[in-house]
Chains A and B, each alone.
Chain A
Amino acid sequence: MPKNALVEPRSIVVIRNVSKSYRRGSQTIPVLENVSFDIAEGKFLALMGPSGSGKSTLLNLLAGIDSVDSGSIAVGGLDITTLSEMDLARWRAVNVGFIFQFYNLIPVLTAFGNVELPLLLTKLSKKQRREHVDLALSMVGLSDRIDHYPNQLSGGQQQRVAIARAVVTDPTILVADEPTGDLDRVSAAEILDLMGRLNKDLGKTIIMVTHDARAAAKAHLIKQLDKGVFIDVHS
Chain B
Amino acid sequence: MYILKLIFKNAFRHKLRTWLTILGITIAILAFGLLRTVISAWYAGVEASSASRLVTRNSISIIFTLPLSYKERIRQIDGVKIVSWGNWFGGIYIDEKNFFANFAVDPKTYFELYPELIISPDQKAAFIRDRKGFVAGRKLAERFGWKLGDSVTLRGTIFAGQWDFVMRGIYRGRDKTVDETTFFFQWDYLNEKMKKSSPARADQIGFYMIGVTKPEIAADVAVNIDKTFKNSVAETLTETEKAFQLGWIAMSQAIVTAIQLVSFVVIIIIMAVMANTMAMTARERIGEYSIFKTLGFGGRYIAALIFGESLIISMIGCAFGIAFTFPAAKSFGNALSNFFPTFNVATETIYMDIAAALLVGTVAGIFPTLRSIRIRIADGLRRIG
Contact = CB atoms under 8 A, between A and B. Distances in A.
B296 A89 contact: yes
Interface in B265-295: 287-288, 291-295
A60 B9 contact: no
Interface stretch (B144-152, B172-180, B376-384): B376-384
Contacts of B384: 100, 102, 104
Interface residues of B, number: 21
Nearest to A66: B378
Contact of B376 (A66, A91, A92, A120): A66
A11 interface: no
Contacts of A121: 295-297
Contacts of B13: 107-108
A120 B6 CA distance: 13
Given A108-B6, A109-B6, A100 B381 contact: yes
Given A66-B376, A66-B377, A109-B6, A117 B294 contact: no
A83 interface: no
A122 B6 CA distance: 18
A65 B378 contact: yes
B296 A92 contact: yes
B10 interface: yes
Contact of B296 (A57, A102, A107, A118): A118
Interface string A91-115: 1111000101110101111000000
Interface in B76-103: none
B378 A60 contact: yes
B199 interface: no
B385 A65 contact: no
Q: Is the interface of B mostly helix, strand, loop or mixed?
A: helix
Contacts of A93: 295-297
A90 B291 CA distance: 14
A101 B385 contact: yes
A60 to B, nearest CB: 5
Nearest to B287: A104
A213 interface: no
A117 B9 CA distance: 15
Contacts of B385: 101-102, 182
B354 to A, nearest CB: 28
A86 interface: yes
Nearest to A101: B385
Contact of B10 (A89, A102, A108, A165): A108
B298 interface: yes
A22 to B, nearest CB: 10
21 contacts: A56-B378, A60-B378, A65-B294, A66-B378, A89-B293, A89-B297, A89-B298, A92-B295, A92-B296, A98-B295, A102-B384, A104-B294, A104-B381, A106-B6, A106-B288, A106-B291, A106-B292, A107-B288, A108-B9, A118-B295, A121-B295
Interface of A: 56-57, 60, 65-66, 86, 89-94, 98, 100-102, 104, 106-109, 117-118, 120-121, 165, 182
| Minimum-distance CB pairs A-B, first 6 | A93-B296, A108-B9, A102-B385, A65-B377, A66-B378, A92-B296
